[in-house]
Amino acid sequence: MNQPEADENRTVADPVCGMKLRVKDVRHTLEYHNDIYYFCSEICRNNFERDPEKYLAL
Protein backbone atom coordinates (compact mmCIF):
# COMPACT_ATOMS: atom_id res chain seq x y z
CA MET A 1 0.00 0.00 0.00
CA ASN A 2 1.42 3.37 -0.92
CA GLN A 3 1.40 6.32 1.48
CA PRO A 4 -1.12 8.60 -0.32
CA GLU A 5 -3.67 5.79 -0.33
CA ALA A 6 -3.13 5.21 3.39
CA ASP A 7 -3.60 8.93 4.09
CA GLU A 8 -6.90 8.97 2.18
CA ASN A 9 -8.27 6.09 4.26
CA ARG A 10 -7.38 7.55 7.64
CA THR A 11 -10.07 9.03 9.83
CA VAL A 12 -10.06 12.36 11.62
CA ALA A 13 -12.46 14.18 13.92
CA ASP A 14 -14.20 17.42 13.01
CA PRO A 15 -12.81 19.85 15.66
CA VAL A 16 -16.19 21.59 16.00
CA CYS A 17 -18.73 18.77 16.34
CA GLY A 18 -16.44 15.77 16.88
CA MET A 19 -17.87 13.75 13.97
CA LYS A 20 -15.48 11.07 12.69
CA LEU A 21 -14.59 11.64 9.02
CA ARG A 22 -12.65 9.70 6.42
CA VAL A 23 -10.12 12.10 4.86
CA LYS A 24 -10.93 10.99 1.30
CA ASP A 25 -14.62 11.90 1.80
CA VAL A 26 -14.12 15.37 3.32
CA ARG A 27 -15.24 18.33 1.23
CA HIS A 28 -14.57 21.12 3.75
CA THR A 29 -11.07 21.89 5.00
CA LEU A 30 -9.20 24.84 6.40
CA GLU A 31 -5.51 25.49 6.94
CA TYR A 32 -4.69 27.17 10.24
CA HIS A 33 -1.16 27.62 11.61
CA ASN A 34 0.19 25.23 8.95
CA ASP A 35 -2.19 22.43 9.97
CA ILE A 36 -5.12 21.23 7.90
CA TYR A 37 -8.44 20.77 9.69
CA TYR A 38 -11.30 18.69 8.29
CA PHE A 39 -14.99 19.45 8.72
CA CYS A 40 -18.26 17.60 8.14
CA SER A 41 -19.98 20.70 6.77
CA GLU A 42 -19.52 24.29 5.72
CA ILE A 43 -21.28 25.34 8.93
CA CYS A 44 -18.65 23.65 11.11
CA ARG A 45 -15.84 25.08 8.96
CA ASN A 46 -17.29 28.59 9.27
CA ASN A 47 -17.71 28.27 13.05
CA PHE A 48 -14.08 27.17 13.37
CA GLU A 49 -12.88 29.97 11.08
CA ARG A 50 -14.63 32.59 13.23
CA ASP A 51 -12.90 31.46 16.44
CA PRO A 52 -10.38 28.63 15.95
CA GLU A 53 -8.84 28.93 19.41
CA LYS A 54 -12.23 28.19 20.98
CA TYR A 55 -12.20 24.74 19.36
CA LEU A 56 -8.49 24.03 19.69
CA ALA A 57 -8.52 24.71 23.44
CA LEU A 58 -10.96 21.82 24.08
pLDDT at 57: 85
Would you kindly state where each structural domain of the chain is located, as residue ranges? 3-56
Long-range contacts of 20-27 (CB under 8 A, 24+ apart): none
> Mean pLDDT of successive 10-residue segments in the chain (58 residues)?
65 97 96 97 98 90
pLDDT at 1: 45
pLDDT at 7: 74
Is 27 within 8 Å of 37 (Cβ atoms)?
A: no
pLDDT at 6: 60
Determine the Cα–Cα distance for residues 20 and 38; give it in Å rounded to an integer. 10
19-41 burial string, b = 16+ CB within 10 Å, else e? Answer: eebeeeebebebeeeeeebbbbe
The vertex-7 CA angle with 2 and 36, nearest 5°, equals 145
